[in-house]
Structure 1
Amino acid sequence: MPFPLRAALLAATLLTAAPLAAQPPAPVAAPSIERIDPALDAIIAPGTPIERVATGFGFTEGPMWREGRLWFSDVTGDKMRAVSPDGMIEELVANSGGLPGAPLGKPIGSNGMAPAPDGTVLMAQMSGRRIAKIGKDGKPQPFITDYQGKRLNSPNDLVYDKGGALWFTDPPFGLINGMDKDPAKELPFNGVFRYADGKLTAVITDMTLPNGIGFSPDFRTLYVGNYGPDKYIRAYDVAPDGALSAPRILIRFAEPGEGPDGLKVDSAGNIWMTGPGGIRIVTPKGKILGQIKLPEVAANLAFAEDGRTVYIAGSSSIYRLRTKVKGMLPLYANAK
């Protein structure tokens, strides 16, 4: 979630207090679905409506379906919340970024989330600069804080592979005093990490702003988005031991505006990636099938419910639409 490039957008939508219920929707341009290739019809039925479920937040991110509701982060409001299918909001974690007294309006809150195999939830704490674990008491506890004795930058998005290893991106967006130029930055790179058997490994160190991350349905391909200045989604072959090879650019974003942020993959292997203009649905070969356009910046998305519902974190709002194909739900979505 690269806040510095979105400051003007967020200034108009910032909240300083958590709403107890969805705010009345304000008039906005209607969201739409652009069909670029006829193959999109097998993924999203023509005429599918896009609903705005809830609105009135600072900057939504990190959506994850859990126990019948969508959990999500309000990055600039420093809250983690949940929204029910009928739009009711509950605050789950205050000061979700993990830095007490952090200034509201900055990228300080939590970001990506993933259910863990033990039934807890892991979340990326941007200003706290760590991966935290949330147990049944709802209180975040530090889980991964440093690499080789140096503090992480600002964990952003995370996903498990089929062997139980945790992968996460670590850009500098939460370093609010200049990102890479922030004196508090300790690592010399913005990396992608793999955590397995108690060991943290830097698996990618040559991306400028690694952001969204996800796996193909067979877990043999890893996708990572680079927000900028060169905006692209990169694919890698993944070996059983987690070694990466054959890096290649799946798609570049030449348009001005937002770079690729969050991404998810459906059961047919299509990558749903946020970027300029909305969410693009792209085949594993890099062919664009269509685009979901919103009146706000789409930062991330999550497959939910039966796998055929997509929730989108769109700046101040949460949106929803139905699909014909199932999406990949988090690996440990049903862990208790």
Structure 2
Amino acid sequence: MIKTRKSLAFAAALVALVAGGSAATAAASTTGGRGAVATSDAGRGTPQPRVIRATQDARVAPLDPPSAFGHATVLEGPALGPDGQLYFVDFTAPAGKPKILRYDLRTKAVKPLYTDATSRFSSLQFSPADGKIYVTDYDHGKIDRLNPDGTGFTTVFSGPVDGRSMVPDDIAFNKAGDMYITDYQGSLKKPDGRVVRLDADGSNPIVLQDGLSDPNGISFTPDFSGLWVGEYNLGRENYFTLAPDGKSFTGGGVGMSANVGTAGFDSNTVDSAGNVYQVVLGAGKILVWNRTGDLIATIAIPQKPKPELLVSNLVIKPGTAHGYITVGGDNGGYIYKFRALAPGIPQSNGGGA
């Protein structure tokens, strides 16, 4: 099952990092997009990528009890709401514990917004169509919606797409509020993961791309003409060009790739300069490529005094270089902050309007 594969990936990353294994040296080299080659190895004619060090802002979630994902907390989201506060989900929260939360960047206060007995939310975004929160329910193949204050919870999409159930992981919106979702399925031997499109009201599901190996992160380019989609298992970043109506891909393929060892490509985002920020889950870092595929920076998350191992997602505040990262592991869940290479944009992982 897809859940078991992801659980094993989390466990492998935890074991490798605690033991000082190969995941800690992930992304030793990268391949640039469109045939170019970029490398982080010294002495090969390409400058070393800049290192940006993130710092801890606050502990925002407790250590979740043991589950299929190990004895670890996994946070996802994060998205800046119209009120300027940071919203995120606790992917491993048990029944009855806070699953959607809000973090005040000024006071560092955390407020629970929603919980239930069964949902497992893997991403959170604000729709530009109605200003509401949309979350992907990884376990139940559905998209849910609620108001920013936690009220009005409802399901906007549930059911198979082209005869197959979905494992919705990450979600991105175009300017009209149409949804683009990664369907986290597939393996190295059987790559059948997908990118699925829904109208703003959750209707008219369309498979835009099939044949992917656990597609995870998904982000629009600044002009909304294309999408960056990461494949977790392969450490591969794909670029797909959208047709003018947004209902098909007209081209694309592998943009960049990285040797990530036992780690994997989780969520991603894009800034106003078109730089692509790709989280490497299990490696304590985020890779940053420019729009032509050169690895230009690595965002490092400190691993001392005790490793917070599961770096999962990030957001950049529109109009500023203030970036925020969700980080979890075997000591609870945290928000880290960093300085981005360029200002954020709307839909920079839910960056707000």
Provide TM-score, normalisation by structure 2: 0.72
Quick one: structure 1 residues 72 and 10, their matched pair in 2 at CA, closer, same or farther if it must change by over 3 Å? farther
2:297 and 2:341 map into 1 onto residues whose CA distance is: 14
Mark the runs of 5 or more structure 1 residues left unpaired by the alignment: 12-35, 103-107, 173-178, 181-187
After superposition, residues 1-336 of structure 1 pair within 5 angstroms as: 2-7=6-11, 50-55=54-59, 56-57=62-63, 58-66=73-81, 67-78=83-94, 79-85=99-105, 86-95=107-116, 100=117, 102=118, 109-116=120-127, 117-135=129-147, 138-148=151-161, 150=163, 152-172=165-185, 189-196=192-199, 198-228=203-233, 230-242=234-246, 243-275=248-280, 277=283, 278-294=285-301, 295=303, 296-304=309-317, 306-315=319-328, 316-323=333-340, 325-330=342-347
Deviation, structure 1 residue 39: 10
Quote the sequence identity (%).
23
Which residue identity lines up with residue 84 of structure 1 in the other structure? D
Which residue identity lines up with residue 82 of structure 1 in the other structure? R
User: 1:225·1:261 contact (CA, 8 Å) conserved in 2?
Assistant: yes
1:281 and 1:93 map into 2 onto residues whose CA distance is: 33
Deviation, structure 1 residue 68: 2.3
Which residue identity lines up with residue 132 of structure 1 in the other structure? D
User: 2:320·2:344 contact (CA, 8 Å) conserved in 1?
Assistant: yes
1:112-163 CA deviation, whole Å, 9 max, x = no partner? 1111211211111122321001135524311111235756332111011234
Deviation, structure 1 residue 280: 0.7
1:63 and 1:164 map into 2 onto residues whose CA distance is: 18
Q: CA RMSD in A?
A: 3.0
User: 1:147·1:200 contact (CA, 8 Å) conserved in 2?
Assistant: no
1:150-185 CA deviation, whole Å, 9 max, x = no partner? 56332111011234321011214xxxxxx98xxxxx
1:254 and 1:162 map into 2 onto residues whose CA distance is: 34
Quick one: structure 1 residues 216 and 206, their matched pair in 2 at CA, closer, same or farther if it must change by over 3 Å? same
Quick one: structure 1 residues 281 and 137, their matched pair in 2 at CA, closer, same or farther if it must change by over 3 Å? closer
Which residue identity lines up with residue 192 of structure 1 in the other structure? V
1:74-100 CA deviation, whole Å, 9 max, x = no partner? 1111511121114221111113xxxx3
Q: Report the number of matched residues.
A: 284
